[in-house]
Structure 1
Amino acid sequence: MEILIVVRLLVVLLLIALMVIFITRRFAVPYTLGLVLVGLLISLFGHLDAFHLSPELVLFVFLPPLIFEGSWSISLKLLRENWAPILLLAVPGLLLELILIALPLYFFVHVPWSVALLLAAILSPTDPVAVLGLFRQLKVNEHLSILIEGESLFNDGVAGALYQVFLAIVLLSLQGQQVTFGVAVMRGIGVFLLQAGGGVLVGALCGLAVSRCVRQVNDHLIEMTMTIVTAYGVYLLADAMHMSGILAVIVASLILSDYCLKQGMSEETRLAVDDFWSMIAFLANALLFLLVGAQLNPVSLLTTQEPISLLLAAGVVIGAVLVARYVMVLILPLAFGGALRKRLHTWRFILLWSGLRGALSLALVLALPTNIPDRTALIFSTYMVVLFTLLVQGFSIRPVLRRIPGLQ
C-alpha cells in the first residue's frame, strides 16, 4: 500500500469524523451514534478498497489506546466507593451473560460450543461512551455513572482474557481435537486464571515502575510520552508473554493515574495528558467505526452469503444479548441489602438499556484469524449487535432517563 494513499485516506476519514462530531454536538447526540450511522452509509454506498483492517492493526494499533484512556479517565475515588457492585457486574455478571449468550447460539444457530463461547466473549464487553456523555448532560447520579463506567472498564479486561482463551480452544478444535462444553469451560477457567493473573501482575509491575520514573521529571511532553509508551509497551510485553494485554494495560493505567493524581504530576500536566488521551480515544473510535463501515457492507454480505441464515444468526444473537443483560441486572440487587439494594433496583432498567456494545467488540471480532469457522457470520452478527444497541438503545435512552425518577 502506498504511503500517499494511506495519508489521503486518513485525512478524508478525519474530516468525516470532524463533521460528524460537529453535527452531533449541535443536536446534543453522542458522537458514537453519528459515527455508526456514517459508517453504515459508507458501507452501503462504497468501499475503501485501499485500506484493509488486518487483525494485527486492530489489536496493536487501536486497542491499547482505547483501553488505556478508559482506565486513565475514571474517577478512582468513586471506583473505590462502589467496588462491590462493579466487581459483581464485571466478573460473575459477565460470566453469567457469557453462558446465557452462548446457549441459544448453540441450540438455535447450531454453532459449536467453542465458537458460541468465543462470540459470547466478543459481545460481553460494554461500551458506555455514548451513555456517559448523556449522563453528564442530564446530571445523572454519579454513583450510577461510575457503576456503568467501572463495569465497562473491568469487563473489558475479563472479556479480553476470555476471548484469548476461547480463541485458543477454537484453534485447537480446528486441529481435530473434539471440545465439549464441559471441557471448554474447565480448560477456559484454567487458562483464564493464568492469563488474567499474569496480565494483572505485568500491569502492576510496569505501572509501579513508570510511576517511579514520572516522579523524577516535571515536563509535560516527557510525561505524556511516558503514558504512550506505557499504553503500547505494557500491552506488547504482556502479549509477548501470552498474558492478557488488556488487563495489563488497565492495571498499569489505574496505578499510574492514581500516582500521578496524588503526587506525580502537576495540575497543568495532568490536564494536558487528559486532553491528549481524550483526543486519542476519539480518533481511535472514529477511525475504527468508519473503517469497519467502509469494509463491512451488510447488504453485499446478504447477497453473497446465505441471507436467511445470516439474518437468523444476527437476530438470535441480538435477542440473546438483551435477555442475558436483563437476567443479570435482575439478579444483581439480590446480592446486597439496604440502601444499595434499593438503588440498584431503581436503576435496573437503566443498567439494562445502557449495556451498549461498541469499539472493543468490533476490534475483537475483526482480530479473528481468517481460518476461524463462520468468521463472516461472526463479524456480521457482531456488527448488527453494535448497530442495534447504539441506534435503538442509544437513541432511546434520553427519553427513558427523563421518565425515571431518582436518577439525579
Structure 2
Amino acid sequence: MEILSVVRLLVVLLLIALMVIFISRRFAVPYTLGLVLVGLLISLFGHIEAFHLSPELVLFVFLPPLIFEGSWSISLRLLRENWVPILLLAVPGLLLELALIALPLHFFARMSWSVALLLAAILSPTDPVAVLGLFRQLRVNERLSILIEGESLFNDGVAGALYQVFLAIVLLVAQGQQVSLGAAVLRGIGVFILQAGGGILVGALCGLVVSRCVKQVNDHLIEMTMTIVTAYGVYLLADALHMSGILAVIVASLIMSNYCTEQGMSEETRLVVDDFWSMIAFLANALLFLLVGAQLNPLGLLAIGQPMYLLLAASVVVIAVLVARYVMILLLPLPFAGELRKRLHAWRFILFWSGLRGALSLALALALPTNVPHRTALIFSTYIVVLFTLLVQGFSIRPVLRRIPGLL
C-alpha cells in the first residue's frame, strides 16, 4: 500500500475505534466487545480498503505491546500469593485443554494430529480484558480476578511456545519429511524447553538491566521510551535467538513493572506510563480487530473454500473449546483442601465462562505461513471461536456475575 493510503486507513480506523469506545462507555460495555461487533459488521457489509494483514505485521507490530501491557499491569505480590492454582491453570490445565481440543479436531474435522494440535495451541490463550473490566466495575473478589489474569498471562507464554513447536512440526510434514510420533514428541519437548527456558532467561536479564537503567533517570519521557524499546527490543532479541518472544516480554515486563514501582519510578511517572500503556493496548486491540474485520470476510471464506467443511470444523472447534475448558476447570479444585478448595469450587462456573479468546489467538492464526495445511480452516475457526466467546460469553457474563453468590 502507498503511504497516503496507509495514513488514510489508520485515520478511519482510529475514528471508528473512538466511536466504539465512546458508545461502549455510555452503555457500560467493555470496548473489546464493541470492537468485535464492529469488526464483524465490517467483514460482512463493507471492505475498508484492500489491505493485507501479513504475519510479520501481526507478530512484530501488534503482539509485543499487547503482551507487555498485560504483564505491566499485574501485581507480582498477588501472583506470588496465588501461584499454585495459577500454575495449575497455565501449564497442566493448558496441556489438558490442548489435548481435549485436538482430539475431536482429529477425529471429526479430519485434521492431522500436528495441525489439530497447532489449532489447539492457537486457541489455548485466554483474553480476559473484557471480563476484568467488568470485574473492576462490579468490585469482584480480588483473588478471583488475579486467578483469571494470572492464568491468561502465563498461558499466553506457554501457548506461544507450543505454537512455535507445533508450527515447526507442521511445516516439516508439509515439506514431505516423515516425522514419527515418538520423534515428534521428543523434538517438541526439546524445542519447547529451549524456547521457553531461553525466553525466560532473555526476558529476566533484559528486565533487570533496563530496570537498573530506569533507576538512574527521573524523566517520564525517557522512562516511557525505555519501556517501548524493551517491549519491542526483547521480543526481537528472543526471536533472533529462536526463543519465545512472548515469554521474554512477559518476564521483562513483570520485572520492570514491580522493580520500577518499588524503586525506579516516581509515582507521577508511574501513572503516566500506566496511562500510556493502557492507550497502546487499546490501540493495538482496536486496530487488530478492525483490520481483521477489514480483511477477513467469513462469508467470502465460505465461498472460496469448502463451506460445509469450514462450518463443520468451526462447529467442532467451538464445542471442543467449551468442553475442554469446562473439564479443566472441573478438575481444578481437586488438588487442594480447606478454604481454597471451597473457593475454587464456588468459582468454577465463572472461571469456565470467563475463558474468552481474543487478540492473541487472532494474531497467532493470522501469522500462520501460507503453506500450512488447512490454513483457511484454521483462521476461519479461530475467528468464529473469538466471535462466540466475546459475544456470547462476554455479553452474558455481567448477569452471571450478579447471580452467583460470593463473587462481589
- For 1:186 and 1:398, how far apart are their aligned partners in 2? 44
- For 2:262 and 2:100, how far apart are their aligned partners in 1? 42
Amino acid at match of 1:254: L
Match in the other structure for 1:13? 13
2:94 matches 1:101: no
Match in the other structure for 2:132? 132
- For 1:126 and 1:68, how far apart are their aligned partners in 2? 15
Alpha-carbon contact 1:114-1:179 (below 8 Å) kept = no
> CA RMSD for the aligned pairs?
0.9
Q: Please report how far the alpha carbon of residue 304 of structure 1 lies from its aligned counterpart in structure 2 after TM superposition.
A: 2.0
Q: What whole-Å deviation, never above 9, does each CA across 1:212-251 have from its counterpart, x for those lacking one?
A: 1111101000000000000000000000000000000000
- For 2:48 and 2:202, how far apart are their aligned partners in 1? 38
Q: Please report how far the alpha carbon of residue 335 of structure 1 lies from its aligned counterpart in structure 2 after TM superposition.
A: 1.2
- For 1:304 and 1:93, how far apart are their aligned partners in 2? 36
- Correspondence 1:247-396 to 2 at 5 A: 247-396=247-396
SS class of match (2:406) = coil
Alpha-carbon contact 1:314-1:380 (below 8 Å) kept = yes
SS class of match (2:334) = helix
Alpha-carbon contact 2:42-2:293 (below 8 Å) kept = yes
- Correspondence 1:134-173 to 2 at 5 A: 134-173=134-173
- For 2:10 and 2:319, how far apart are their aligned partners in 1? 36
Q: What whole-Å deviation, never above 9, does each CA across 1:256-287 have from its counterpart, x for those lacking one?
A: 11110101000000000000000000000000
2:251 matches 1:229: no
Aligned residue pairs, count:
408
SS class of match (1:28) = coil
Amino acid at match of 1:222: I
Q: What whole-Å deviation, never above 9, does each CA across 1:25-62 have from its counterpart, x for those lacking one?
A: 11111110110010010001122333210000000000
SS class of match (2:108) = helix
Q: Greater shift after overlay, 167-176 or 297-306?
A: 297-306
Amino acid at match of 1:302: L
Alpha-carbon contact 1:72-1:253 (below 8 Å) kept = yes
Match in the other structure for 1:2? 2
Alpha-carbon contact 2:9-2:49 (below 8 Å) kept = no
- Correspondence 1:69-108 to 2 at 5 A: 69-108=69-108
Alpha-carbon contact 1:220-1:269 (below 8 Å) kept = yes
Alpha-carbon contact 1:113-1:180 (below 8 Å) kept = no
- For 1:42 and 1:13, how far apart are their aligned partners in 2? 11
Alpha-carbon contact 1:5-1:50 (below 8 Å) kept = no
2:201 matches 1:201: yes
TM-score for both structures, normalised by structure 2: 0.99
- For 2:261 and 2:50, how far apart are their aligned partners in 1? 43
TM-score for both structures, normalised by structure 1: 0.99
CA 1:180–1:37: 2 relative to 1, 3 Å: farther
Alpha-carbon contact 1:39-1:292 (below 8 Å) kept = yes
- Correspondence 1:392-407 to 2 at 5 A: 392-407=392-407
Amino acid at match of 1:325: R
- For 1:181 and 1:152, how far apart are their aligned partners in 2? 30
Q: Please report how far the alpha carbon of residue 80 of structure 1 lies from its aligned counterpart in structure 2 after TM superposition.
A: 1.2
SS class of match (1:109) = coil
Q: What whole-Å deviation, never above 9, does each CA across 1:54-103 have from its counterpart, x for those lacking one?
A: 00000000000000000000122211111110011001100110011011
- For 2:299 and 2:50, how far apart are their aligned partners in 1? 20
Match in the other structure for 2:26? 26
SS class of match (1:47) = coil
- For 1:45 and 1:184, how far apart are their aligned partners in 2? 43
- For 1:249 and 1:178, how far apart are their aligned partners in 2? 34
- For 1:44 and 1:111, how far apart are their aligned partners in 2? 28
- For 1:178 and 1:37, how far apart are their aligned partners in 2? 43
Q: Please report how far the alpha carbon of residue 180 of structure 1 lies from its aligned counterpart in structure 2 after TM superposition.
A: 4.5
Q: Please report how far the alpha carbon of residue 183 of structure 1 lies from its aligned counterpart in structure 2 after TM superposition.
A: 3.9
Match in the other structure for 2:120? 120
Alpha-carbon contact 2:238-2:244 (below 8 Å) kept = yes
Q: Please report how far the alpha carbon of residue 178 of structure 1 lies from its aligned counterpart in structure 2 after TM superposition.
A: 2.8
Match in the other structure for 1:191? 191
Alpha-carbon contact 1:113-1:184 (below 8 Å) kept = no
- For 1:339 and 1:79, how far apart are their aligned partners in 2? 18
Q: What whole-Å deviation, never above 9, does each CA across 1:3-31 have from its counterpart, x for those lacking one?
A: 11100100000000000000011111111
- For 2:185 and 2:315, how far apart are their aligned partners in 1? 25
Q: Please report how far the alpha carbon of residue 156 of structure 1 lies from its aligned counterpart in structure 2 after TM superposition.
A: 0.3
Q: Please report how far the alpha carbon of residue 306 of structure 1 lies from its aligned counterpart in structure 2 after TM superposition.
A: 1.4
CA 1:208–1:179: 2 relative to 1, 3 Å: same
Amino acid at match of 2:271: L
5+ residue gaps, structure 1, are: none
Match in the other structure for 2:110? 110
Alpha-carbon contact 2:366-2:379 (below 8 Å) kept = yes
Amino acid at match of 1:193: I
- For 2:334 and 2:185, how far apart are their aligned partners in 1? 26
Alpha-carbon contact 2:89-2:151 (below 8 Å) kept = yes
Amino acid at match of 1:307: P
Amino acid at match of 1:179: V
- For 1:273 and 1:141, how far apart are their aligned partners in 2? 26
SS class of match (1:394) = helix
Match in the other structure for 2:240? 240
Q: Please report how far the alpha carbon of residue 187 of structure 1 lies from its aligned counterpart in structure 2 after TM superposition.
A: 2.2
- For 2:125 and 2:186, how far apart are their aligned partners in 1? 21
SS class of match (2:243) = coil
Q: Which runs of 4+ in 1 moved over 3 A?
A: 179-186
